[in-house]
């Protein structure tokens, strides 16, 4: 066997091995693409909120749920920035509850489409669009503290000042601290206010 013939056989074998490796690599590459595509779509699937109604549990897509919550918790006549703040607070709240809530003030009041139409009447389309825009413009936004969802508690008004968590609940929460909110006294003048006097013994 001449040197040239021997080199030719070696070249053919190497070419065969390289082709085989290339083909196997293509299969693995395709599998990898399929896995990545599948993973991406799983990640993109919208979270479902489990809402305990009076007699059943209803599964509602998160962003759709937020429309009903904002409709139930805040007048749609408020500025869009207020609606956006409510959207972030409500999204954070339900995620901190692991997407399991009820339909009362113990969690968040949720209105379905039928209830929104009844409440808004001819303004239904306009109002719903405004709420949906507020949700879309804050999509994915949440509040966290040290990497965890905060307990995003909210209320309509606070008589001019909020309170520390330990003054209302049992235990201190680092991010729930009293702050000034004096504008509440003019924004919500119907709220009853009482001054408590402590008598020293």
Stronger pLDDT, 34 or 101, i.e. the higher one = 101
Q: Indicate the range of 51-65, 138-152, 166-180 predicted with least confidence.
A: 166-180
Q: Could you give the CA distance from residue 84 to residue 75 in angstroms, rounded to a whole number? A: 13
Any idea which of 71-75, 90-94, 143-147, 167-171 has the lowest mean pLDDT? Answer: 167-171
Q: Among candidates 58, 67, 176, 86, which has minimal Cα distance to 130?
A: 67
Q: What average pLDDT does this structure show over 75-103?
A: 91
- Residue 145 CB neighbours (<10 A): 12
pLDDT attached to residue 40: 39
* pLDDT at position 19: 60
Mean pLDDT of the region 168-177: 80
Closest CA to 140 of 75, 87, 69, 196: 87
Dist CA 115 CA 119 (whole Å): 6
Q: What pLDDT was estimated at residue 168?
A: 76
The pTM assigned to this predicted structure is 0.66
**Between 96 and 164, whose confidence is greater?**
96
Measured CA to CA, the distance from residue 96 to residue 151 in angstroms comes to 6
Confidence of residue 119 (pLDDT cuts 50, 70, 90): very high
């Amino acid at each position: 066997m001449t040197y040239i013939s021997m080199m030719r056989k070696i070249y053919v074998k190497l070419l065969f091995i390289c082709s085989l490796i290339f083909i196997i690599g293509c299969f693995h590459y395709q599998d990898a693409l399929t896995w990545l595509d599948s993973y991406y779509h799983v990640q993109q699937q919208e979270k479902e909120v489990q809402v305990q109604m009076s007699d059943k549990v209803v599964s509602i897509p998160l962003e759709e749920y937020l429309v009903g919550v904002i409709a139930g918790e805040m007048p749609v006549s408020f500025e869009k920035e207020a609606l956006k703040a409510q959207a972030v607070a409500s999204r954070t709240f339900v995620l901190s509850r692991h997407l399991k809530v009820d339909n009362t003030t113990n969690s968040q009041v949720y209105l379905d489409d039928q209830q929104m139409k009844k409440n808004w009447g001819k303004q239904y389309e306009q109002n719903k669009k405004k709420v949906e825009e507020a949700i879309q413009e804050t999509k994915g936004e949440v509040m966290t503290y040290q990497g965890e969802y905060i307990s995003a508690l909210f209320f309509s008004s606070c008589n001019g000042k909020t309170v520390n968590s330990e003054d209302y609940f049992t235990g201190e929460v680092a991010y729930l601290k009293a702050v000034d909110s004096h504008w509440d006294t003019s924004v919500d003048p119907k709220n009853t206010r009482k001054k408590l006097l402590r008598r020293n013994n």
